[in-house]
Amino acid sequence: MAAVARLEVAELGTPITVSFDDLMKYHGPNAPGGVAHAFKVLERALPLLDPEGPAERREVEIATAHGGPGVRDAFEMVTRAVTGGRYGRGAPGRARARDDRSVARGVGHRGLRRRLTHRRDG
């Protein structure tokens, strides 16, 4: 049986783990693609933000070109960035490449910024 992927952040130093199923329970059934997208962005981004341990979730900043309800709710549950005023539409630099085949995602934590790009095949 394959291991279930989980996201890990910290709340005042206490580790919190969140699964895709947890995010779907929070969001509901209406936009599973957006939830999956945000999960994969965070799965890639969180280890880059604090390689020594889980990032403090209330210090994570999110800038995204995709602001649908599933994406927003997933980012909110994991990072509390929406209610904390650290979530915004658009990305650092340009949100979309000229050929529209890559969508940038920006994340930050304690002054460190990372730009993530999801490239669609084709």
- 81 contacts 49 by C-beta, under 8 angstroms: no
Averaged in consecutive runs of 10 residues, what is the pLDDT profile of the chain (122 residues)?
85 97 96 93 90 92 86 96 86 40 57 65 52
pLDDT of residue 63: 86
Give the integer Cα–Cα distance in Å for 51 and 46.
8
pLDDT of residue 100: 39
Tokens of 21: 């199923």
- 112 contacts 42 by C-beta, under 8 angstroms: no
Q: What is the dihedral of CA 114, 118, 60, 2, to 10 degrees?
A: -120
Domains of the chain, by residue range, sit at: 6-119
Q: Please count the other Cβ atoms lying within 10 Å of the Cβ belonging to residue 21.
A: 10
pLDDT of residue 48: 87
